[in-house]
Amino acid sequence: MRVKIISERCIACGLCHLEAPHIFDYDDAGIVRFYGSSVKQKLEQTELLSSVKQKLEQTELAETNELEQEIPPAEEKQAGSAVKKCPTAALKASNH
């Protein structure tokens, strides 16, 4: 199972973390992210990467704030429950 985060839709309710605490974490504003992505997010906050991102956006090559991750089989049940219960459809699951 793969899960995609559409962070623009997240209202920071915390439900997904309750359902799948090993999969979903939050940034400083309470917006969902995958565990393990904190280092990447911190790096993205650096001036250098912001500059690169701006340039990518200008050329329309940048992705949205969506994040996607393969969920380990042992965590699929909890992750699936989080996807179903997310009130704003900020989480999307797929089997490929």
Give the residues lining the site for ligand SF4 (CB under 6 A).
10-16, 32, 86-88, 90-91
Contacts of 45 (CB under 8 A, 6+ apart): none
d(CA 55, CA 57): 5
Q: Which of residues 12 and 43 has its CB atom nearest to ligand SF4 in the complex?
A: 12
Q: How far is the CB of 11 from ligand SF4 (least distance, A)?
A: 5
Could you give phi then psi for residue 67, rounded to 5 degrees? -125, 150
Q: Token pair of 67, please?
A: 């994040």
Q: How far is the CB of 88 from ligand SF4 (least distance, A)?
A: 5
Q: Which of residues 12 and 56 has its CB atom nearest to ligand SF4 in the complex?
A: 12
Q: How far is the CB of 5 from ligand SF4 (least distance, A)?
A: 7
d(CA 51, CA 48): 5
Q: Which of residues 14 and 72 has its CB atom nearest to ligand SF4 in the complex?
A: 14
